[in-house]
Amino acid sequence: MNLESLIHARLDGEISAEDLVRLEEILREDWQARRLYLELADLHARLLHARLLHEPGVASGRFATPGESGTRSGGRWRVAAFTAAGIAAVIAAVIAFVFLSVSLTQPGGGKDEAVSAGVAMLSQTISAEFAGVERRSGDTLAPGTIHLSGGLAQIEFYSGATVVIEGEAELEIVSPWEARCHRGRVRVQVPPAAKGFLLHAPGLKLEDLGTEFALNVDVSGVGSEVHVFDGEVIVHREGGGSQSLTGGMSLGSDGEKTVDPAAFLSLSELDGLAAARGVRRLEAWRAWSQEARRDERLIAYYDFHHQTAAGRDRFVGNVAEPRIQSRTGGAVGARWTDGRWPGKAALEFKRPGDRLRMTIDGTYRDITFACWVKVDSVDKKYNSLLLTDGYENGEPHWQIYEDGSLMFSLVYRPPGISGKGGKFNQMYFSQPVLTAESLGRWHHLAVSYEGTSGEVAQYFDGKVVGRAVSPLHQAGRSIHFGPCEIGNWGLPTESHQFPIRNLNGAIDEFAIYRTALSAAEIRAMFEAGRVE
């Protein structure tokens, strides 16, 4: 029986104990199957309800005789005159059955939904150095103190307020609506939606009524200056009393000051600095890429950079030298979009049809995959990075698993054994790395496989996040690709429980090597291509 037949049998009350166990296993593993179950359950209940309303005798509560059974295409509905309460009970039982089997809200099933303690986001940095911790643009910020040793940092609070910090500073994030500046220079922009945002300073509490202002707290953490550029700020003094400051007014610990907006970096100036940095980073990466493509260990290298706004066609060239044209990729469905920097192209994968197809010839003992990817959502059990079309011996599969971990696999079945791998599949998982906090940002992913030792090392932003050897490993077995694709698995040669694996995100660089790169080489690759 196929899945739909199993579901109908369960809804009709005609399922065997063996088939019921089988159905429960499918529902636990496949979120799409659970969705189909609820859709058919809803249809079943609606048909019962329609019969209740329109058939004589049924509406009065008389049970149908065997001769009164209804029919439907592809099978028989056994309808036994339900009352409205009975129909409600059927629906409740159906939903309870699925919920007892697995959580419906998450494709992974049975897992707690991801939560975040963040109240703000580090939206932009320029040469920023943070004391005691590594931070980068896009980081979610929980309540706590930010120690900036130098550079510039822009923080966007979930209330809508934006704070730019300059140089050496210490800012305590209290909530989406409140912060405390212990020392340093900050400029605050508060739109109407964030009216009421509070910024504390030594001896002062600044209540913003929708404005733009700056605050300077000297290194000693004692003296403070408030400068209002636009709108109104209410200054509450620690000893009591308050004062309204409007655009063009300033107040310091020792009295009124002269307003000088140019003395504090504006948001537009920060954006200009970020754009200039992007140009420099792109040029630095371009120089690195020109050298990297000469690496004789490359099998294929797709940099997407030649795809300019004026000529983004469906061919994606393999730029590894010497260039092997047969390894040129063909974009299907996937759309061109902006990459890591302005002027850098990337391929976006959103729909089940989106993919980059290519054919990789040859056999190999060792391999390394490396790419820059922006994942918007991990919404399937398996999310493709690079997959061969099938499960032939020695074909590699590189994916993102439903929990956000990186997954690499190789299958080697004994002669005469066919199938999708099963107990013969060497599978390697990293720790979960693509979490709610890291989605929507550019990350460098890499995996290396050393054929003699069998060691698989997995990397996230230049750091090792998984290292293992499968107990199934045997030295000397070759690796080959054949027809394969980046970002999807649209042509599996065997029927599979999870055929839809398209990536939900974008890729703007992908390299395949015939060797297992070292951790130092992976780190250097990350540093050369990082956004900041």
What is the DSSP annotation of 217-230?
A: E-TTS--EEEEEEE
CATH pick for 274-529 out of 3.40.50.10490, 3.40.30.10, 1.10.3720.10, 2.60.120.200? 2.60.120.200
Q: What is the pLDDT of residue 78?
A: 38
Tokens coding 92 = 């409740």
CA distance 205 to 186: 15
The answer to whether the CB of 245 falls within 8 A of the CB of 226 is yes
Bridge partners (DSSP) listed for residue 172? 145, 180
The answer to whether the CB of 508 falls within 8 A of the CB of 344 is yes
Domain boundaries, the chain: 3-101, 120-265, 274-529
What is the DSSP annotation of 155-200?
A: EEETTS-EEEEEEEEEEEEEETTEEEEEEEEEEEE--GGGTT-EEE
Bridging pattern class, strands 75-77 and 505-513: unpaired
Polymer length of the chain: 532
Same fold, 120-265 and 274-529: yes
- Which residues in the chain come in under a pLDDT of 70? 28-32, 35, 39, 42, 44-116, 219-222, 253-262, 306-312, 417-422, 491-495
Q: What is the pLDDT of residue 82?
A: 41
Ramachandran area for residue 180 (φ above 0: left; ψ -120 to 50: alpha; else beta): beta
Q: What is the pLDDT of residue 35?
A: 65
Q: Which residues contact 409 (CB under 8 A, 6 or more apart)?
A: 396, 397, 399, 421, 425, 426, 427, 428
Q: What is the pLDDT of residue 63?
A: 34
The answer to whether the CB of 470 falls within 8 A of the CB of 428 is yes
**What's the CATH architecture for 120-265?**
Sandwich (2.60)
Bridging pattern class, strands 455-460 and 335-338: unpaired
CA distance 203 to 5: 72
